[in-house]
Structures are given as C-alpha cells and as structure tokens.
Chains A and B, each alone.
Chain A
Amino acid sequence: MTTSAERRASALSASGGRASSAPLLGRDEEPTVFDLSRPGRRAHSFRTTALPEWEADELVPSEHLRPEPVELAEVSERDLVAHFTRLSHRQYSVDLGAYPLGSCTMKYNPKVCDDVAALAGLARSHPAAPALLVQGWLELLVGLEDALCRITGMAAATLQPAAGAAGELTGLLLMRAWHEAQGQQRRRVIIPDSAHGTNPASVTLGGFEVATVPSDERGCVDLAALRSTLGPDVAGIMLTNPNTLGLFEEDITEIAAAVHQVGGLLYYDGANLNAILGVTRPGDMGFDIVHMNLHKTFATPHGGGGPGAGPVAVSERLVPYLPGPRPVRRPDGQFDWETPPRSIGRVHGWHGNALVLARAYAFILANGGDGLRRVADCAVLNANWLRRRLSATYDVPFDRPSMHEFVASTTSLRRQHGLRAVDVAKRLLEEGFHAPTVYFPLIVDEALMIEPTETESLQTLEALAEAFERIAGEAATAGGLEAAHAAPRTTPVSRVDEARAARQLIPTWDQRPASE
C-alpha cells in the first residue's frame, strides 16, 4: 500500500489526464426535473410577432384538439440551469481526465472544432436548401470525402451513415447489391470471434448469415480455418485491423487474396483506424469497403453516446452502388448533388450528421498528413509503453508489440487473490480515471481492453500505471479484496444494482413505485 503522502505526490506529478481525487461534486441525490417542478413556474419566452392571436380552438378542429396541455416540468430558467449543471458534475468526461476505453478511442476533442460547428453559416443551413445556396457545405463535404479516401486508399465515400453500426449495415447492403448485380445470391459473411457485437448484428440485418472464424494462438485470424470456411456462398468477410486485441493481422494480404479468390468482398471495420493513419491503408491491404468512426479517429466528441458519424469508403468497382445523393464537384467548378446509377438508396433522412462531419474536416485540416501520422505514432507508442509497464503486474495474453491498444487480464490475480476485471475497473474510478473496456473481446478471460490514445501524456500514463499497480498490490493485502469489492466509494453513487433495474423496470419518472 502506498502512503497518502506518496499518493499526493503521484497525483501532483500527473498532468491533465487524471481527475483530481474528488472530481465530482455531490454525494447527494440530484432531484429530477419533475421533482423540481412547481405549477405555474416558467422559463420560456417567445419572439414578439404581432400576428393575430387566434386561439387553439380556432386553429385545430375540436375533435383533434387535446383538452389539456401535455404536462411537462415547470421550472424557472435558474432552476433549469442549476439542475443540468449539477447533473454535469455527476458525469465523467474526456475534458476531466483520461478515458482508456479500448476500441473507443476517447482522445481529446479540440475546442476549435466546437467553434467550427457553431459557425452560423454551417449551423443555420437548412438541409433542403438548393445546392446553389449551400455551395460552402457541399465543398466541405466533397473535401472531407476526398481526404477520407486519401487516408484509407479508397476511390469514393458516402458521408450519410450516422454512426459506425450504420456504416456497417450500409457496407453490407453495398456487398449485397454488388453480388446481386453479378447475378449471385451469396449467403454467408465471415466474422472473427474477436469482432465487435455490431458486426454480427449488422450481418443479420443485411440479410446474411454469420460464419465465425476462430483466432489462432497468436490472436489473429486462423488462416487455415478461414480457408476451410471459404466457398462460393461467401459474400465477404468483416475485419477490424488492427483487431480488437490491438494486433495487426499480419496475414492480411493472404486473407484478402483467399477471400477475393472465391469472389467475396473484404469489409474493413474502421473502429481501430487510429492505429494506422499514414502508416498503411485499408485500400492497400485489399479491402473493398471501409467504414470510419469519425467520433473515434477524427476526434469528434462522443456526446455521452452519440452523435457519431460513420462514413463508408469503397473501391472503384463499388462506387456506382453508393448511397445517394452524393455531393460532387461539377466540371464547371460548381458543387451539386448526384445519385449514383445503381445506388442502394438513402441511409439517412438528410446528408448524414453534417456538423459532426464539419468537425472531422477541421480536425483533418489542423493535423494535415504529417500530423495524422504523428497521431498514430503516439497512440501506438502510448499503448506499447503501458502494455510493457503493466505486463509486470497483469497478464497480457498476447504479449508482443501491439498497435494502439492491448488487452490485459486479471486471470492470475483472480486465481491468487480473487481480483476480477470489474473490480479493477471500479477501483480505477476511485483513482480519478475512467475504466478500460472490460470483458471484451470475448475470447479473453477477465479482459481489460486498454486504449490510452495519443493525447495522454507520459505523466498521465505513469499515474494510470501506478493506479493499476496499486490496485493489484492492494488485492494481495489483508482486506484489500474487500476494498476492491466496495469500490467505487468516491463517486456520486457506489456500485449500481443492475439486476434490480432489469427485474423491476422503472423506465420513466411516472412509473416509479408509489412509495418513492
């Protein structure tokens, strides 16, 4: 156990990425906005319009008019601001500290991108305005598409998908349309056993069946098993490279050749694109379809669970199938919308999450080609430094140089002291860090999937490593495991009863039991 003086010293030595020991105010419950509501109180005010003041019953046929207004919360603006500000104090965020969630790429989100998204010329543009009136938007979208194609080595892209999973399904529909155009009904899509859950779910919605291929002892796709699974009914394969273990699929060229050999297509899940920016490109590896998570690689803020953006880039032969309409530069230099000849159709109500796209465009401008390579370099360096450091205390099942993330495990610590991955996660919250991704990928026991990202400093990594080590060390001491099980104690709430939430579902304030 470290002394409190040592802890204080280590906290002082940590730069930005570690939240102070009491980052979040309030161990008291925050009332809901409905608890704060008082009839007759109000915050709203409207523009003076000088319009005739027709009453509701003069505007709507009486059989359709609701007799009473919908009851919402009635609060003053002061109460409203206090309530949501206090809620924000009960929320961890990247701006507060490090967020080493594997496969989520929770890097710092530059503030200049907030200014970009707030530009009136972008934020106030109506999505149905004719192309003539939104030439700046179209130029931005064309510029972003071009940059994303250069980064991935692809021919063209759609910017419509609103998130990674939407990009996956779009890609699978492109796969389907391509095979149908070849006169083929292909049934199966291959997915490694280390894949994200969105992959198999998207495969089903794309009208295909999942065929799982195992990982080999090196943590990569088992090439022999893959070859034996391939056949004329295989529509394609979905791969994340580097994979969810943070390992580069070294046999990717052979995998691509084998899949193409049977007429299948290769889909690149871009969740881990951050690792290879400027190093190698999915297009060069042989991929036909690539989705990107702009909220990961290109630093658009994650918003507590969205909005994201999941553009999909494709190789030349798939361009005619892209969702439409697409922004294009005409020969006369004007920008316009154009629907590809064999388009699979729209996948979004409008043009995608446009303001998220604008933020990513600004991020790419700010970094440039050289800066993006530095992003990958430092992301990979950070992951390897932390892997090397933690391998002395934790199991690292595939302990060889990783890319941007790695997977550790508490298998030995659990056997020796009873310490589980969830305990480490909950203790880290007390230490002022967000937890890593736990129990994923499914192929690793007691998995802790750790992705520091490039924006955390060496001092933050040291503080994070010390926290991990302290947690492992405490588990070996008398009462240490009990302390881990009791964690977190310094957060706005302690461990949450998830089973009760499912068993006695309370999905709204109106459905709370009368006793409350």
Chain B
Amino acid sequence: MAGYVPHTDEEIDAMLAFVGVASLDELYGAVPGALRLAGGLDLAPGLSEPDVLAAVSGLAGRNRAAELVCFAGAGAYDHEIPAATRALAGRSEFVTAYTPYQPEVSQGVLQALFEYQTLLCRLSGMEISNASLYDGANACVEAANLAVAATGRQQLWVSQGLHPHWRQTLATFAAGTGHEMVEAPLADGTTRWPADGEPAAVIVQSPNFLGCLEDLHGARHAADAAGALMVVARDPVASGLLRTPGELGADVVVGEGQPFGIPLSYGGPYLGLFTTRQSLVRRLPGRLVGETVDTEGRRAYVTTLRAREQDIRREKASSNVCTNQTLMAVAAAIQLSWLGTAGLRELAVRCARGTRYCREALLAIDGVEPAAPAPVLREFAVRTPVPPTALVERLADEGFLAGVAVDEGFEGTDYQGSLLVAVTERRTRAEIDAFAAAFEKAVR
C-alpha cells in the first residue's frame, strides 16, 4: 500500500494518550455501535504506486480512441497544447491551492483569474466575465437562470442548433426552476424563431452545432420584439475570425473553453465561459475577481461582489456554484497569452482552411452530400451512404476517429443521421488526404 499518512505507531500511541482515549476505535465513541461497519470496507487492499500506475495504464491502453487521428468535435476539439502551457498550468502552486479565500496568500491565482477575465471580455466583446463555471452546458444553464431572474419570465426559446447535450442539461435543471423550454427549429442550418411568446431569453449558438453561422441580427430582433435577453453560445476560437457577440448585441455570452489549453480528457474537466454586460453584474453567477489595493497601497486582487454568492445569500442566491474550474481558467489564460493577438487569428484561419479542404475532399466522394450549408470555422455535417455509426467504426480500423453521428436532439429532422466532422489546426494535408481516401473506401 502506498502511504500518504505520516504517523508512526509511536506517535499514534502518544497522540491517543494526549487525547485521552485508549485506541483509534475509541475515537468514534459518538458513532452508535449499530452503525459501525463490521469487517471494514469491502475493497481490495491498497496497492503500491507502481502497481496503481500499471493498473490504470492498462485501462488507458484500452482506449483506442486516444490513438486515432481525430476528426471528432461536437464541442470537444483536438487542439495543440504547447509545452509551456502544460508546464505552467501544471505548477503545483496553482494545482494544489484552494479557492482564494485568503487573498494575501492567493495573489497568484487571483491575478491569473483577473487576466483571464480581461481576455474573456475581449473575446466576447462583453464587460464582465466571471472566474469560470463547470462547463459550457452548465454556463448555459446559469445564463438561462440569470435571464429568468432579470426578466421575471419563465419561458426560454432555445435554438435547435444549440449543442444537444446543452439542451438536455437545460431541460434537466428546468425541472427544478420550472422554466418552460420552447425549441426553435433549424431550417437550412439556421434557427427559425417563434412569432410570439414571452421568453426570458433567446438562446442561440453561433457557429451552431452543425458548424453554420447563425443570423445574430435576426436573433437580436427576435429578442427585442419579445422583450427578451439574447444569450449567445460561442466557441471562443471563432473570435479569431468573427465579430464578437458583444458587437452583435448579446446580453450574455457563454461557451466551452476547452479549446484553450485543455486536453480532450474524455469530456472533463473543461471550462464554462460566462460573460455579460456591466448592468447585469449583480446577477453574475460564480466568482468575480476585482482589482484593489492593500494597506500599503500596492495593487492587489480579491474576489468581489461576494454578496451575490451562496455562502452569504444562502437560499436567496441565484446560483449555488462554489467550487468551479479555476485551474482550467488559469490554463486558458496561459494558452491565450501563448497564442497572442496574431496567434488566435492564425489558429482560427488554420482551422477554417483545414475544414474547407476536408469538406471539399469528402464532398468529392460519390454519395457524400452536404447536410447543412457551408461552415465557417472547423466543423461541418455530411450525409453519407453508410450510417454514421457504422462509418465511425469502420474508419477507426483505418486509424481515424471520423466524427460524431448527429442523432439525439435532432430526431425527425433532415440532420439526423448525418456525420459531424471537425478539423483543427493540427490536421495536415497528408492526414486529410488519407482520411478522405479511407472514407471513400468505407462508404463504398
């Protein structure tokens, strides 16, 4: 057994004597005898560290997906993570710190979060960013709750182009808050909003799940006509090329920050992005870092507007978030600074180039058809002569993770049964050519 408890037997005896009990068992005098676990936990005995690593390595080795050339996306992308980001985000001072409740010894994390908030506001075109939420789906839930609280309305208009898992997560939490969800369907790859109703928010993702640009002016008009807030879900990499949602009138911008320095990690831990307008700052969920000074007038950072939060406001708090994803926010701040002004632009351009090249190569194959209009960033949907789940299995044998089948959340639509393919800056022409060749064989 690996040992992380430092006590020697002699020390335990001496400590027991000081406490005034005869044995370790006696420490649990308050636990009724009938509740005591007889015979200990039904778990295997502890392993040495090398044995632990061998056991988990064995499991890790059975994840064939990790070895494939990745064309899967759907909200989780195979971007480059440079050595500098890994080294800095892996520093144990950041990794093993607690929430910065004592600002005098937490300036490292607090300043990194302040820089993160600044970067996020620039990417989204908004004025306020919180210090992170669990993931994109949960950020979207918090945006819906904010909109409901701000408008006093219960209905949400949710675009079908919003990630289906995010829609499902919204629906799960709506069972508690009582929100009514109205799904706005896609036609030609973009959202058709209802003509009337009293929504608290219109929630739209752009580029949407199928990779298509949405008409955010149209969404803003729909929101204005209905007196609602506009919540935009935005892949932050898109800001390398596209106008910010803030410029286009968003009230809240949410997103998934995984593309910035966070490994695919089988889906977590990721990073929930949440930015909004200054006028909504008192409804902001989660932590917010502000700049201030110490008693000697030196610049210092601290979590602020704390009266919003659950530990102070308790049942009146608009969010229950406590632990969030600080380390991921720090990683994103590092990665964005590694990219820099020109690098973010180049990252987005490189994704778009690979996407266009790959889409053209796949559409040149007999029987492969576009499932939605032309994409703008790094993802597109195609219809294939072979069902997408079978295609993904076949192409795995050729060394490719071919994409993600469009199914759940698109039942009964033209998009169901198509394959969503993503191309990041890591995919080379040789890889894409080989993929297209294997694809052609697999659909024959």
Contacts and interface: CB of A to CB of B under 8 A. Distances in A.
A137 interface: yes
A201 interface: yes
Contact of A126 (B103, B305, B401): B401
Interface in B348-362: 349-350, 352-354, 356-357
A271 B181 CA distance: 33
Contacts of B119: 72-73
Contacts of A48: 428
Given A104-B98, A140-B56, A151-B41, A80 B266 contact: no
Nearest to A166: B134
A93 B268 CA distance: 23
A349 B75 contact: yes
B340 interface: yes
Nearest to A153: B37
Interface residues of A, number: 210
Contact of B132 (A74, A306, A348): A306
B196 interface: no
Interface stretch (B6-14, B185-193, B221-229, B379-387): B6-14
Contact of A280 (B31, B109, B145, B324): B31
Interface stretch (A295-303, A311-319, A409-417): A295-303
A342 interface: no
B396 A133 contact: yes
Given A50-B430, A198-B320, A302 B99 contact: yes
Contacts of B288: 507
A366 B84 contact: no
A501 B103 CA distance: 12
Contacts of B27: 377, 380-381, 384, 401
Interface string B62-75: 11111110101011
Nearest to B112: A87
Nearest to B165: A349
Contacts of B31: 248, 250, 276, 279-280
Interface centre among B78, B326, B427 (most CB of A within 10 A): B326
B35 A455 contact: no
Contacts of A162: 134-135, 138, 268-269, 325
Interface in B49-85: 49, 51-53, 55-68, 70, 72, 74-76, 78, 80, 82, 84
Contact of A53 (B311, B322, B340, B353): B353
Contact of A494 (B145, B296, B299, B302): B296
Contact of B287 (A121, A250, A305): A305
Interface in A79-117: 80-81, 83-85, 87-96, 99, 101, 104, 106-110, 112, 114-116
A164 B323 contact: yes
A253 B35 contact: yes
Interface stretch (B151-159, B167-175, B363-371, B436-444): B167-175
Nearest to A324: B168
A358 B56 contact: yes
Nearest to A425: B102
A218 B266 CA distance: 46
Given A49-B425, A169-B320, A505 B304 contact: yes
A393 interface: no
B425 A488 contact: no
B232 interface: no
Contacts of B291: 501, 506, 512
Contacts of B264: 123-127
Contact of A50 (B55, B107, B396, B429): B429
Interface centre among A52, A303, A504, A506 (most CB of B within 10 A): A303
B280 interface: no
Contact of A434 (B105, B328, B334): B105
Contact of A91 (B105, B242, B352, B401): B105
Given A51-B428, A207-B177, A497 B265 contact: no
Interface in A322-381: 323, 344-356, 358, 361-362, 364-375, 377-378, 380-381
B412 interface: no
Contacts of A183: none
Contact of B36 (A46, A279, A345, A425): A279
Contacts of B239: 66, 70
Interface centre among B32, B34, B131, B323 (most CB of A within 10 A): B323
Interface in B112-153: 112, 114-115, 117-119, 121-123, 127-129, 131-132, 134-138, 145
Contacts of A366: 1-2, 4, 46-49, 52
A368 B337 contact: no
A18 interface: no
Contact of B63 (A52, A107, A136, A355): A136
Interface stretch (A1-9, A54-62, A225-233): A54-62
Contact of A60 (B36, B301, B352): B352
Interface centre among A60, A344, A364 (most CB of B within 10 A): A60
Interface residues of B, number: 209
Contacts of A358: 56
Nearest to A17: B6
B348 to A, nearest CB: 8
B200 interface: no
Given A162-B268, A164-B323, A94 B97 contact: yes
B176 A206 contact: yes
B410 interface: no
B90 to A, nearest CB: 8
B195 interface: no
A457 B401 contact: no
B93 A93 contact: yes
A194 to B, nearest CB: 12
A150 B137 CA distance: 30
Contacts of A49: 350, 353-354, 425, 427-429
Contacts of B337: 33, 43, 72-73, 75, 80, 83
B267 A51 contact: no
A295 to B, nearest CB: 7
A337 B289 CA distance: 39
B352 to A, nearest CB: 4
A350 B268 contact: yes
Interface stretch (A24-32, A258-266, A470-478): A24-32
A508 B120 CA distance: 9
Given A164-B322, A380-B27, A495-B295, A75 B340 contact: yes
Contacts of B35: 252-253, 280, 284-285
B230 interface: no
Contact of A165 (B82, B290, B321): B321
Contacts of A135: 62-63
Contacts of A272: none
B56 A305 contact: no
B62 A51 contact: no
Contacts of B53: 112, 115-116, 362
B314 to A, nearest CB: 4
B82 to A, nearest CB: 8
Contacts of B432: 51
B6 to A, nearest CB: 4
A384 B12 CA distance: 12
Contacts of A370: 1, 40, 45-46
Contacts of A257: none
A305 B5 contact: no
Contact of B327 (A70, A72, A304, A380): A304
21 contacts: A44-B343, A55-B349, A72-B343, A72-B344, A81-B88, A87-B111, A96-B93, A112-B2, A123-B66, A133-B401, A168-B320, A250-B32, A305-B324, A369-B43, A375-B5, A388-B18, A434-B98, A496-B103, A496-B300, A501-B291, A507-B127
Complex A-B, nearest 6 residue pairs according to Cβ-Cβ distance, in ascending order: A350-B267, A121-B60, A91-B108, A127-B267, A303-B327, A368-B46
